[in-house]
Amino acid sequence: DMAVPGWGKKCNLCTKILQQIKAIAGEDPDEAAVEAALGKACRALGKRLGGFCKRLVKKFREQICESLQNGDQPQDACAAIGFCKA
CATH class of 7-81: mainly alpha
In the chain, domain spans: 7-81
Is pLDDT above 80 for 75?
yes
Is pLDDT above 50 for 43?
yes
- Note the pTM of the prediction, 2 decimals: 0.83
For the purposes of burial, counting CB atoms within 10 Å of the CB of 9, is it exposed (0-12), middle (13-18) or buried (19 or more)?
exposed
Distance CA 85, CA 49 (A): 21
pLDDT at 1: 46
Half-sphere exposure of 4 (CA within 13 A, CB side): 18
